[in-house]
Every structure is written in C-alpha cells, then in structure tokens.
C-alpha cells in the first residue's frame, strides 16, 4: 500500500477516522489520569575484602594428666619435712607435655576468586530467589530486582512502587537482608573475625525518582488506539469496495440478460418472417448469436 492509497482511504472514510481519533484521544487522556505514578529507588552494597585471609590460632591448653596431690594437715606436713630424704633421693620430675601445633584458619569465601564477584553473584541469586521474594512480600516490600556488578564486587538493588517512601524503604530492607545473609554464611562456615568479608553501603537509597513507565503505557495506549481506528477505516473501505463490485457485477449480468433476451426475440421474428431481403439479416443474426453463445459459455 502506497501513500496515495492511504490518503484516499482516509479521505473516503474521514468521518470514521475523525470519530475514532477523538475517541482515542479521550481514552489516552483517561489512561494517563488513571495510571498511578511510578518511582524508582536504587541502593548499592560493595564487598570489602578482609585485611588478611587467614589467621593462626593457638589451640586451647590441654588438661594436666598428673593426679592432684592429696591434702594433708599442717602437722603432717611438718613431719614430712623433718623426714624428707636427701636431694639425691628425691623423686624425678615428670616428662614435659608435648606442645600442640598452632592451627591456620582460612576464610573459604576469600578463595572463590574473581575479585569477590562470584560471592556477589551468590548473594544476588539468593535475593532473587522465590523464597526470599516471598519473605520480602510478606513484610510489605514492593517489587525489586537485585543485580551483581559485572566488573567490581557490588550488589545493586532497584525497587519500583507508586509510593516513593515505600520504594526507598524496600531498597533499605533488601540491602540489610543481603548484608545479614553475608554474615550468616560466614558464621556457618566458622570464619574468624579478622578474615570476615564485610559489606559497605556505597549508594544509599535515600531518594526516589519518577520513572517514565506512566508515559510509556500512555503512549502505548494511544498508538494502539490510532492503529485500531485506521484498521477499522480500511476494513470499512474494503467492505464498501466489495459491495460496489457486487453491484457492478449484478448490473452487468442484468444488462447482458436483457440483451440476450432481446436478441433471442429478434432472431425468432427473423426466422418467422418472409425470406425477401432476410438472408442478410439471418446471416448477421447467426454471427451475433455465435458471439452471444460464447459469452454464455
């Protein structure tokens, strides 16, 4: 379809197009007024590596295996001192206890590599899980999405809601939950405090900005409405053209039938009339009759 055809259809169906455009404009305005605004809040955590990835801990002291000396009275102690043997006959000292080897403890989460980006990916997957989403929804959180950083170990939380305060609150709650999950994972692994990977608030969700979602939805409603109006106009144009062609075909058939009937009548009259000067007429009627028979076939 070219531009000329399009303009011809619009010109011929101008009333339908005009009424449709007015209805589409009214519908788009109502949709814009009815749709609530949308606000977006964003917060980001960055993973901070520990100062050291392993520590050396001394094992706890082993309890003594020697029996405790029996308790004696002071008089018995004085008597034992008087009867004490010479130093040469004294009891030899017990052998020294073996010294325990120090233990080296390593934070296994610091060994994941990729500059802690894999750890950030694990936390983001947990925050995007159905279980965590259900927990946050039960607490009244709005819709949110958690994404890890591609080059640095960050975790970004983005929330959308028609209430700006709720959007900011949701981002804060999710960030706190992600930080708690990081501490929980390391606590379950028995990671010592000096080797803990911690998180730091890099971008605080202290403000929410309006999004273009409302304008996009409104524009979509307007485009769909205009497309519907033009589709209706072309459909009506097609129906009108089909009806016009049927009428033209019917008119042609009616004219042809009338001509055939008249020709048949003239031919019968020619055959029934005198033969004087009718030879040429009969010959011409035969010629025309062949053409009419071809039309009938």
Each residue's pLDDT tens digit, 117-143: 888 999 999 999 999 999 999 999 999
Question: Which bin fits 277, alpha (ψ -120 to 50), beta or left (φ > 0)?
Answer: left
| Mean predicted lDDT score pLDDT of the chain | 77
Tokens of 241: 């053209």
| Burial of 275 (C-beta count, 10 Å sphere; 0-12/13-18/19+) | exposed
The most confident of 29-38, 126-135, 249-258, by mean pLDDT = 126-135
| Helix, strand, coil percent values for the chain (each to nearest 5) | 60, 15, 25
Find the range with the poorest average confidence among 14-23, 158-167, 208-217. 208-217
Out of 45-54, 91-100, 140-149, 282-291, which region has the weakest mean confidence (pLDDT)? 282-291
Check residue 180 and give its pLDDT: 93
Q: Look at 259 and 188; give whichever has higher pLDDT.
A: 188
pLDDT of 283:
55
Phi/psi-derived region of residue 203, left when phi > 0, alpha when psi is between -120 and 50, beta in every other case: beta
Q: How far apart (Å, rounded) are the C-alpha atoms in residues 168 and 174?
A: 10
Tell me the mean pLDDT in the region 182-202.
Answer: 87
Mean pLDDT of 229-242: 84
CA proximity to 155, closest of 198, 185, 189, 184: 198
Closest among 155, 178, 183, 121 to 46, alpha carbons compared: 155
Pairing of strands 39-48, 154-161: antiparallel
Mean pLDDT score, 140-152? 90
Whole-model pTM: value is 0.56
Angle at 10 between CA 6 and CA 13, to 5 degrees: 135
Q: Which residue has the tokens 């020619």?
A: 270
- Cα torsion at 165, 170, 176, 181 (round to 10°)? 180
In this predicted structure, what is the pLDDT of residue 147?
A: 94
Asked if residue 151 has pLDDT above 60, the reply is yes
Could you please state the CATH topology (level 3) that the domain comprising 39-51+104-210 is classified under: Alpha-Beta Plaits (3.30.70)
Q: What is the pLDDT of residues 67-122, one digit of tens each?
A: 555 555 555 555 554 555 555 445 565 666 555 566 677 777 777 766 788 889 99
pLDDT at 191 over 60: yes
Say if residue 290's pLDDT is above 60: no
In the predicted structure, residue 57 carries a pLDDT above the cut 80: no
Q: What is the C-alpha separation between 270 and 279, in angstroms, rounded? A: 9
R_g of the chain, CA atoms, integer Å: 50
Which pLDDT does position 79 carry in this prediction? Answer: 53
Under DSSP, is residue 198 helix (H, G, I), strand (E, B) or coil? strand
CA distance 167 to 193: 34
């Amino acid at each position: 379809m070219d531009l000329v055809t399009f303009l011809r259809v619009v010109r011929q169906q101008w009333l339908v197009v005009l009424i449709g455009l007015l209805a589409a404009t009214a519908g788009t305005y109502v949709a814009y007024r009815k749709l609530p605004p949308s606000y977006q809040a964003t917060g980001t955590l960055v993973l901070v590596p520990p100062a050291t990835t392993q520590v050396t801990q001394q094992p706890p002291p082993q309890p003594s295996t020697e029996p405790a000396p029996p308790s004696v009275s002071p008089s018995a102690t004085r008597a034992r001192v008087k009867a004490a043997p010479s130093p040469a006959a004294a009891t030899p000292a017990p052998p020294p206890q073996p010294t325990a080897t120090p233990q080296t403890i390593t934070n296994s989460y610091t060994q994941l590599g990729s500059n802690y980006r894999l750890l950030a990916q694990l936390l983001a997957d947990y925050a995007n899980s159905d279980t965590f989403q259900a927990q946050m929804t039960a607490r009244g959180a709005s819709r949110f999405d958690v994404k890890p950083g591609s080059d640095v170990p960050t975790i970004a939380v983005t929330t959308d809601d028609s209430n700006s305060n709720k959007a900011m609150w949701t981002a804060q709650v999710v960030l706190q939950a992600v930080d708690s999950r990081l501490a929980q994972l390391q606590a379950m692994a028995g990671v010592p405090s000096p080797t803990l990977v911690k998180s730091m608030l890099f971008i605080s969700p202290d403000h929410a900005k309006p999004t273009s979602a409302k304008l996009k939805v409104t524009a979509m409603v307007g485009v769909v409405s205009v497309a519907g109006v033009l589709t209706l106009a072309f459909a009506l144009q097609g129906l009108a053209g089909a009806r016009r062609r049927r009428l033209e075909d019917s008119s042609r058939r009616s004219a042809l039938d009338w001509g055939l009937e008249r020709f048949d009548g003239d031919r019968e009259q020619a055959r029934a009339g005198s033969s004087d000067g009718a030879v040429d007429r009969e010959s011409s009627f035969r010629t025309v009759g062949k053409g009419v028979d071809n039309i009938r076939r």
